[in-house]
Amino acid sequence: MDRTTVQRLASTLRPLQLLLIAVVVVPLGLFASAAWLNYRWAFEKARAELVRTTDAVHEHALKVFEINELILDRVAERYGEFDEETLARTPDSRTYIKQVAASAPHITSVGFIFADGRIISSNLDLPPGSAHRHEFMSVHRDARDDVLIGELELSSHTNRLRFLIARHKPKAVGDGNSGLIFTSITPDYFQRYYSAAFGPTYAISIVRDDGAILARSPELPDRFVLAPNTGFRRAIAQNADHGDYVGKSAVDGRTRLFSYRKVGDYPLYVAVGIDEATVLEGWRAQIASHLVFGVPATLALIAITLMALRRSASAHAAMRQAASETQRRHQLEASLHQSQKMEAVGQLTGGVAHDFNNLLTAIIGSLEMIMRTDASDVVRKYATAAMRAADRGAHLTQQLLAFSRRQVLRPEIVNVNRLLGEFETLTRRAVGESIEVAFSLDPKVDPCRIDPAQFQSAILNLVVNARDATPAGGRITIETRNTRLTAENGAVELGLNPGRYVMIAVSDTGSGMTPEVRAQAFDPFFTTKEVGKGSGLGLSQVYGFAKQSGGHVTVESEPGQGACIRFYLPSVEAPAPTRSEAALEAPPERRTGSVLIVEDDEAVLDTVRSSLEGFGYHIIVARTAAEALDVLRRDEPIDLLFSDIVMPGGINGIALARRARQLRQDIKILLTSGYAPSPAKEQDKDGFAVLSKPYRQRELAQTIAGMLGERA
């Protein structure tokens, strides 16, 4: 073999050797880069999920403490000015406190603590003795006493850890002999809730700002106070509202990623942590899944190189197909997780709103009866203030039901121009003086059949979003006009039937949206605002209202060009009636007739019975559907059946109404419900009237009078 041949062979082997080295080195380099990028992505994803979990935990904790504060106020209003001897001689005070305590499942005890440590009128059968000395932190409240939050302590009566939420008895701030009104919560309640709602992945705590831990999941075996040099105390010292940090837990010594958030204006924080080891384990699992494909592919590439790289193209195609399949699987898993989360949150919010509507029905009814008596001006003043607060509570429950798609809509034939005009002042106040608000309303706009309150809430949501998109000032325009949609000009694309529609547009001159943001604008929990400044539910509620009203909503926007949100609502032929406030407020006349009330909630039952008896009706009560059927089978005159839809015992209000019609064909039927689960929607097939909770007693009386043919 001559020198030239040797050189030729060497020159042939050298490129193959270099290619073989490249086949080994390049995949290793790519794998190392991918591992690093996936490492960063795993921690970024963990932090994002941690923030979302912290928001959910914060919302739950805030509601729990607000409910406790409301209960303290209710007890204070009723028995706060009673001294120790008067309370001891008032047996119904303990009965009332037991009822109040039973209305909130997270509360273990409610009562009074006096200066000598004795507990009076508690809902528990406590033996004689003294209470502990409590170290409280104060939450300032304007125009009323501070709220006091105690530390975790071992109850001498139940031998369980608990903490107190208290306030001074009225007109007694600074008087050490006046005593406190208190409620107590055990950390077990929070531990069970967090374990059920979030599983064992997260370590969740409720902590006072002095480091005292009040509740924790996993369970805290004993009391624990975080020292000033711990990660949590250092983090809240730098940012008192919310934030995140990485550190070793002072409780169990495990290194975690933490996110925290202040609970309203209470000296409390919720802190949620996830083990760093858990994040790393997920990252290693993902890298291992890459290795399953990467190692065989790399070996195949080496073999292909040794055989002159004949099969490199097919191996590359196989790798691309595997990556595409992996991405598709991840997308399907994410979609399933989102669907399950929305269903769970919808069921939770719907159930909470239903319970609150029952409470608000009893509260509003009781306040109305107080205001119909010859009460003093002071009592009427406080009753009026309480009624305004109850109305705000009713509005909040409607927002919860709108999100969970279980709201009971009250559609009316209305003119949207009139609705927009009614809250024009509120709209201008909401956006501030730096932004111009213009109304371009077509005076010939057709009437629509919609829920007025939900419509105004949806428009206000859009206006507030437009305001946030124009922080430096600008212009917001609200426009109405008639339009006709056909199969050729948009009806099919919008999923609507061809016909006449009323278009309501809210446009702004703000920053606009990117295509990616625009595509997710109506997704629940999607928001471009900072953490804590937006729930991501506003536009999803707008979308849900439009669809429930038989219409649609669209968004048009480009970066830097502002945005335009358009409502399309079906128009109706009938003219929109004008509302007569005098007619709504006309005092109800005394009436006659026999009404069977079926209600399992004692507070609501007592309120409705007292109110209708005051209007002159003969009242028969039943607490279950079976008891009501026994009454209907008796030979006793009954003109109208008034029943709750959601009933215990296996027979709901719809089934009861159908059986009542079989037993008495001429009986009038009126149903009521705090929300619209599937049974409540079935009433349309039978033609039963439904009155939504919470309702005013005047509204109930007028509805019954109309059904019985009396003059309202």
542/455 Cα distance (integer angstroms): 9
The helix/strand/coil state of 633 is helix
Judged against a pLDDT cut of 80, whether residue 23 lies above it is answered with no
Judged against a pLDDT cut of 50, whether residue 681 lies above it is answered with no
- Position 515 scores a pLDDT of 80
Find all residues with CB under 8 Å of 310, minimum gap 6, and list them: 304
If you average pLDDT over residues 598-613, what whole number do you get? 88
Task: For residue 208, give both structure tokens.
Answer: 């006072």
In this structure, what is the dihedral angle of CA atoms 357, 362, 367, 373, given to the nearest 10 degrees? 150
Of 125, 212, 214, the C-alpha closest to 161 is 214
Q: What is the 3-state secondary structure (H, E, C) of 261-295?
A: EECCCCCEEEEEEEEHHHHHHHHHHHHHHHHHHHH
Judged against a pLDDT cut of 80, whether residue 300 lies above it is answered with no
Judged against a pLDDT cut of 50, whether residue 647 lies above it is answered with yes
- Position 145 scores a pLDDT of 61
Judged against a pLDDT cut of 60, whether residue 311 lies above it is answered with no
Please state whether the peptide bond connecting residue 218 to the residue before it is cis, i.e. omega within 30 degrees of 0.
Answer: yes
Using pLDDT thresholds of 50, 70 and 90, give the confidence band for residue 397.
low
Q: Domains along the chain?
A: 44-298 (3.30.450.20), 416-570 (3.30.565.10), 586-707 (3.40.50.2300)
Using pLDDT thresholds of 50, 70 and 90, give the confidence band for residue 134.
low
110/68 Cα distance (integer angstroms): 10
400/357 Cα distance (integer angstroms): 11
Query: Could you tell me how far CA 90 lies from the centroid of its own chain?
Result: 39
- Position 13 scores a pLDDT of 54
Kindly give the interhelix angle for 377-403 and 538-548, rounded to the nearest 10 degrees: 80
Find all residues with CB under 8 Å of 483, minimum gap 6, and list them: 500, 501, 502, 503, 568
- Position 699 scores a pLDDT of 84
Q: How many CB atoms lie within 10 A of CB 267?
A: 17
Which tens digits make up the pLDDT trace of 195-218? 998 888 899 999 998 999 999 988
Q: Are 272 and 57 in contact (CB under 8 A)?
A: yes
Helices (H), 151-215: 187-198
Task: For residue 162, give both structure tokens.
Answer: 């608990």
Find all residues with CB under 8 Å of 120, minimum gap 6, and list them: 84, 87, 88, 111, 112, 113, 114
234/224 Cα distance (integer angstroms): 17
Report percent pLDDT > 70 for the chain.
74
Sign of the alpha-carbon torsion through 671, 677, 683, 689: positive
Q: Which residues lie across from 564 on neighbouring strands?
A: 507, 556
- Position 581 scores a pLDDT of 39
Q: Are 122 and 97 in contact (CB under 8 A)?
A: yes
Can you count the helices (H) and strands (E) in the chain?
A: 21, 24
Q: Which range is most confident: 152-166, 182-196, 522-536? A: 182-196
Judged against a pLDDT cut of 80, whether residue 595 lies above it is answered with yes
Using pLDDT thresholds of 50, 70 and 90, give the confidence band for residue 221.
confident
- Position 271 scores a pLDDT of 95
- Position 691 scores a pLDDT of 84
Judged against a pLDDT cut of 60, whether residue 698 lies above it is answered with yes
Q: Which range is most confident: 76-90, 112-126, 557-571? A: 557-571
Using pLDDT thresholds of 50, 70 and 90, give the confidence band for residue 118.
confident
Which tens digits make up the pLDDT trace of 34-67? 778 888 888 898 899 999 999 999 999 999 999 9
Strand bridging mode 618-622 / 594-598: parallel
Of 664, 668, 679, the C-alpha closest to 708 is 668
Find all residues with CB under 8 Å of 243, minimum gap 6, and list them: 235, 236, 259, 260
Q: Which of 2-6, 16-20, 90-94, 263-267 has the lowest mean pLDDT?
A: 2-6
Give the chain's length.
712
**Complete DSSP assignment for 573-611:** SSPPPPP-HHHHTPPPPP---EEEEE-S-HHHHHHHHHH
Which CA distances in Å does 56 have to 51, 212, 263, 276?
Answer: 9, 22, 12, 21
Element (H, E) at 628: helix 625-633
Task: For residue 441, give both structure tokens.
Answer: 């309303």
Q: Which of 107-111, 127-131, 326-330, 442-446 has the lowest mean pLDDT?
A: 127-131
501/490 Cα distance (integer angstroms): 12
Q: Are 691 and 672 in contact (CB under 8 A)?
A: yes
- Position 158 scores a pLDDT of 73
Rg (CA), the chain: 32
Which tens digits make up the pLDDT trace of 223-239? 889 999 999 999 999 99
